[in-house]
Amino acid sequence: MVSTSTAPADSAPVAGPELIVDALKQAGIDFLVVLPDLKLARLHELLENDPYFTTVTVCREEEGVGICTGAFYGGRRAAMLIQNGGLFVATNALVSTAIMYEIPMVLLIYYAGDIGDRFFPTVGQYTEPVLQALNIRYWVPREAHEVVPTITGAQVTASDSMRPVAVLLTRPVLAV
Amino acid sequence: MKRYDCLKAIADVAGDAISVSSAGGVTLEWSNVRPSDANLRVRTLGLCSSIGLGLALTLPQRKVLVLDGDGALLLNLSSLPTLGWQRPPNLIHCVFVNGVYEASGGGRNANSANADLVAIAKGAGVPHAVWVDSVEDFRREVAAAFARNELSFVAARVEPGVQPGLKGIDVQAVENKFLLARHIERTEGIQVLAPAYPQR
Whether A99 contacts A63, CB under 8 Å? no
Tell me: the pLDDT tens digits for B156-199?
Answer: 999 999 999 999 999 999 999 999 999 999 999 999 998 888 77
Residues 6+ apart with CB under 8 A from B119: none
Residue B137: CB partners within 8 Å, gap ≥ 6? none
B116 contacts chain A (CB < 8 A): no
pLDDT digits (tens, 9 = 90+) for A120-173: 999 999 999 999 999 999 999 999 999 999 999 999 999 999 999 999 999 999
Amino acid at A7: A
Domains of chain A from N-terminus onward? 17-169 (3.40.50.970)
Helix or strand (DSSP H, E) at B4? helix B3-10
**A101: chain B residues, CB-CB within 8 Å:** 43, 173-174, 176-177
Q: Distance from A126 to chain B by nearest Cα, in Å?
A: 24
Average pLDDT score, chain B? 96
CB A77 within 8 Å of CB A28:
yes
B194 within a domain of the structure (yes/no): no
Centroid of chain to Cα A84 = 9
B177: in domain: yes
Residue B108 lies in a domain: yes
Q: How many structural domains compose chain B?
A: 1
Say whether B125 sits in a helix, a strand or coil: coil
In a domain, B74, yes or no: yes
**What's the domain range around B177?**
3-188
What CATH code is carried by the domain that includes residue B135? Answer: 3.40.50.970
A96/B184 touch (CB, cutoff 8 Å), yes or no? no
Task: Assess whether pLDDT exceeds 70 at residue A8.
Answer: no
Contacting B with CB below 8 Å, chain A residues are: 31, 54, 56-60, 62-76, 78, 92-93, 96-97, 100-103, 159-160
Q: What is the pLDDT of residue A90?
A: 98
Backbone angles phi, psi at B82, to 5 degrees: -65, -45
Q: Is residue B197 part of a domain?
A: no
pLDDT of residue B200: 76
* Within-domain flag for B174: yes
ipTM above 0.90, yes or no: yes
B22 within some domain: yes
Residue B56 lies in a domain: yes
CA distance B74 to chain A (A): 13
Chain B residues whose CB is inside 8 A of the A64 CB are: 50
pTM for this model (two decimals): 0.96
Distance in angstroms (rounded) separating the CA atoms of residues B194 and B200: 15
Give the three-class secondary structure for B151.
coil
The answer to whether the beta carbons of residues B39 and B14 sit under 8 Å apart is no
**What's A2's DSSP letter?**
-
